Amino acid sequence: MNLRKATVAAAAALVLSVTAAGCGSDGGSSSGGGTAGASGTGGKITVGIKFDQPGIGLKTPDGTYTGLDVDVATYVAKQLGYSPQNIEFKEAKSADRETMLQRGDVDFIAASYSITPTRSEKVDFAGPYLLAHQDVLIRADDDSIKTPADLNTKKLCSVTGSTSAQNVKTKIAPNAQLQEYGGYSECLTGLENKVVDALTTDDSILAGYAAQPAFQGKFKLGGFKMSNENYGIGVQKGSELKAQINTALEKMVADGSWEAAVKKNLGPAGYQNEPAPKIGVVVS
């Protein structure tokens, strides 16, 4: 749905709500200032995802979307009453996610979005739907980084707005030379060209990159579980969508769709995923 179109849409929604009140309704969901109707009404739902994370959220050259977050978002949207053709995907960069939700640019965000206390002050989270761990990606021929402490004095790349680099700086390797780029693809190019020594983010994201045909054999995972990253689906503060999305995620796990999506998107990289997390329980 497009929450920014007011006036005419709001008036139409008012008429529909009055009619529904008189004859019954099969249920809509509130998202910010809008109303999510059932599929077939012509409504759209707008979902924030990453566009540059293979295996997680990727916009391909032909304009299609692939990845675990895409599959999770598509499943959730279907449970909310929206068919795939009624989903509008919008790029949600790490630094922009809270702002996008607060402005109502999107209805929910599934974009490798780790649940943290700071973020939870600004937005609400459904989930978590995946437990990942922070790791590093290094060049395959680099034997100088064998432990997290070896990152000290190294040039460490991460994405602006991500918690990963700061975790390393404050908790693990305070002398690492932090370099923040706008996207993981830029970090990957810098790693390949030896501009940086390591790329840090979640192991699920790194595995997706390492598995790409163009990069196979060039990089390796450090194998460090430096943090727990609970992936959640972000919604506006106070939105009724949180409870509805949680119900959808519970169903996705129960019917096997969650396991199938994880194996399809991350299995080719040899990624050993944790069991499905319990919805509503954040692992510290």
Q: pLDDT tens digit string along 172-225?
A: 899 999 999 988 889 999 999 999 999 999 999 998 888 788 887 899 889 899
Residue 258: CB partners within 8 Å, gap ≥ 6?
72, 129, 249, 252, 276
Determine the CATH number of domain 132-228. 3.40.190.10
Q: What is the pTM of this model?
A: 0.78
Cα–Cα distance, 237 to 235 (Å, whole number): 6
The CB density around residue 155, as the number of other CB atoms within 10 Å, is 16
Which secondary-structure segment (H or E) carries 230? strand 228-236
Question: pLDDT tens digits, the chain, 284 residues: what are they?
Answer: 443 433 334 333 333 333 333 333 333 333 333 334 333 345 999 999 999 899 999 999 999 999 999 999 999 999 999 999 999 999 999 999 999 999 999 999 999 999 999 999 999 999 999 999 999 999 999 999 999 999 999 999 998 877 787 788 888 899 999 999 988 889 999 999 999 999 999 999 998 888 788 887 899 889 899 989 999 999 999 999 999 999 999 999 999 999 999 999 888 777 888 999 999 999 99
Domain boundaries, the chain: 7-13+28-131+230-269, 132-228
Q: Do domains 7-13+28-131+230-269 and 132-228 have the same CATH topology?
A: yes
- The model's pLDDT over 56-74, given as tens digits with 9 standing for 90+, comes to 999 999 999 999 999 999 9
Determine the CATH number of domain 7-13+28-131+230-269. 3.40.190.10
Amino acid at 43: G
